[in-house]
Amino acid sequence: MPEANIRELTAEEKAKPYAKYYYRPVDPPDPELLEAVRPDRPMDPAQAIYPEEINRLLEPGYMEVETGWCNLPNGAGYICVNNKMPGVTVDMLDWWFAWHSLASLHYGIWYPPGHFAISISEKSRARVLDPNVPIKEKIYGRTDHVVEDVGTGPEDIFIFFCHPAELGFDMDRFHPPNVAAVYGGYGLDMPVGAKPWTIRAPAIMCHFIREIPGGVEFRTRFWMGYTLIDKKPVFMLPYGVKVPEAAVQGLAEHNVREYTNLRNVLPEIYTELGGRIP
């Protein structure tokens, strides 16, 4: 995605001391990761997992495919990405998933070519800003409304973040070294400017973090065409409908690019701001 697409900042945003990160050139992704999510190279669906199998992420080691994309036999889209993040800590990520929700500039710094705007409710904002709410819990129950280009043009996306137990994780096994953190939930999206009656596309999202020597690894899973109802994954596609391959591959590549940029900017901005919110 060309950097010429970045949103022009307002005068107020430009005055922020951290606005410099927004104008910094975007870091190129690992060529091996980009190769793994090429449009002409979908993975074998037999090597994917379903959202009902989410606890397999708690097992040691790695799955057959850690980075790739495909359509599942039922038509759903599946994405997996393993982004290594040297120099990044869980504390930094906990801070980021709270701090970035407070302003569109914060969100834009993450990936300027594709992150355009973010908003949250006043109740959620108060929770993020409340020093009595533990940093890991500031994300729970929050709904982020973002405008983002995930590969097929700008979209209006609502992301409903939830506790790992609501994603289906076995909390008896939810501890190091199995896992260090999870940021996830479910979402609904539709193209910017779509008619009000347009059906929003559902997806389940899970960012599963493990500590590794010198940093963390960011193991992402998306199941496009699924949502969560009463803490259970529910397949939502009508019979015979398939998530377009371009949408699945586009989100996979976007994920590679946005988290590459985050891993390179996060240690510096976290240090500069002292891990403070706001």
| Average pLDDT score, the chain | 95
Residue pair 69/252 in contact (Cβ under 8 Å)? The answer is: yes
What percentage of the chain carries pLDDT values higher than 70?
Answer: 99
pLDDT tens for 95-149 read 999 999 999 999 999 999 999 999 999 999 999 999 999 999 999 999 999 999 9
State residue 1's pLDDT score. 44
Residue 2 pLDDT more than 60?
A: no
pLDDT at 3 over 50: no
Q: Average pLDDT of 160-167?
A: 98
DSSP lists the bridge partners of residue 183 as 207
Determine how β-strand 201-212 pairs with β-strand 215-224.
Answer: antiparallel
Could you report the per-residue pLDDT of 239-259, keeping only the tens digit for each? 999 999 999 999 999 999 999
Paired tokens of 253 = 């590549």
Which tens digit of pLDDT belongs to each residue from 214-223?
A: 999 999 999 9
In this prediction, residue 198 carries a pLDDT of 79
Query: 182-207 pLDDT, tens per residue?
Result: 999 999 998 898 888 777 899 999 99
Instruction: Give the pLDDT confidence score for residue 151 in this predicted structure.
Output: 84
What number of other Cβ atoms are within 10 A of residue 14's Cβ? 13
pLDDT at 91 over 50: yes
Determine the average pLDDT of the residues in 43-68: 98
pLDDT given for residue 108 in this prediction: 98
Write down the domain spans for the chain. Answer: 11-273
The CATH number of 11-273 is 3.30.530.20
Q: In the structure, what pLDDT confidence band is assigned to residue 66 with cuts at 50, 70 and 90?
A: very high
